[in-house]
Homo-oligomer: A and B are copies of this chain.
Amino acid sequence: MAQKITTDEKILNAFSKLLEENGYTETTTKKIAQAAGVNESTLFRHFKDKEQLVKELVQKYMSDIDTVNAGFIPSGDIVTDLMRVADLYNHFVEAHKALFLIGMRDSFQFPKLKEMIIQLPMKLKKILVFWMTEMKHSGEINGLVNIEITATNYITLILGHALIQNIYTDTGLDISQVDFVQKNVRDFAEHLK
């Protein structure tokens, strides 16, 4: 039942990997072809040009983003739920790391890209605001909490963490996702009670 890996996939995988490591411009078509184990010109038969490779990743990102809603089923417990959101974002970034990175690094070359990248945090913020409003009504969240600000804070926090995690690796400021969730997110959550 060996799953066949198509040339398209081989190329996209190689591209994605190199993108993470070296950024868009440094990821030459020659290197992609080499990493994918195909001829350089094959690459252009499969994807009209280098930019098309990015667009392909974006498409996947955008279609995946629609599934995020379904991934968040509130438990009613603040700590658990906030952790869930953090993990949701983290997993998504992990799964689309290459795109997340060039969304930062090469956004000037792909002006539309940053708008796509930011859609996930914005969607999560909406989810948070909706959920926090409910939690406030049910008394789980302290009545004095400013939801809009808190939600923004939380998103900024996990975005900052993703940044540290993926760019500033091994710099002394990075904490594992598990630790981050166990400690910092939990700490954040406590304040809302």
Instruction: Determine whether A13 belongs to the interface, using a CB cutoff of 8 Å to chain B.
Output: no
Instruction: Determine whether A107 belongs to the interface, using a CB cutoff of 8 Å to chain B.
Output: yes
Of B106, B109, B122, B160, the contact of A159 (CB 8 Å cutoff): B160
Chain B residues with Cβ below 8 Å from A171 are 114-115, 118, 122
Chain B residues with Cβ below 8 Å from A149 are 183-184, 187
Of B109, B118, B161, the contact of A173 (CB 8 Å cutoff): B118
Of B26, B156, B175, the contact of A157 (CB 8 Å cutoff): B156
Instruction: Determine whether A22 belongs to the interface, using a CB cutoff of 8 Å to chain B.
Output: yes
A71 CB → nearest B CB, Å: 20
Chain B residues with Cβ below 8 Å from A191 are 191
Chain B residues with Cβ below 8 Å from A175 are 152
Instruction: Determine whether A33 belongs to the interface, using a CB cutoff of 8 Å to chain B.
Output: no
Instruction: Determine whether A62 belongs to the interface, using a CB cutoff of 8 Å to chain B.
Output: no
Instruction: Determine whether A167 belongs to the interface, using a CB cutoff of 8 Å to chain B.
Output: yes
Interface residue tally for chain A (C-beta within 8 Å): 44
Instruction: Determine whether A150 belongs to the interface, using a CB cutoff of 8 Å to chain B.
Output: yes
Interface residues of A in 146-193 (CB under 8 A from B): 146, 149-150, 152-153, 155-161, 163-164, 167-168, 171-173, 175, 183-184, 187-188, 191
Of B103, B160, B173, the contact of A125 (CB 8 Å cutoff): B173
Of B107, B153, B168, B187, the contact of A118 (CB 8 Å cutoff): B168
A18 CB → nearest B CB, Å: 10
Instruction: Determine whether A25 belongs to the interface, using a CB cutoff of 8 Å to chain B.
Output: yes
User: Contacts A23-B106, A105-B104, A105-B106 given: A184-B156 contact, CB under 8 Å?
Assistant: yes
Of B107, B109, B152, B159, the contact of A184 (CB 8 Å cutoff): B152
Q: How far is the CA of A93 from the CA of B159 in the complex (A)?
A: 17
A102 CB → nearest B CB, Å: 9
Chain B residues with Cβ below 8 Å from A21 are 108
Chain B residues with Cβ below 8 Å from A103 are 167
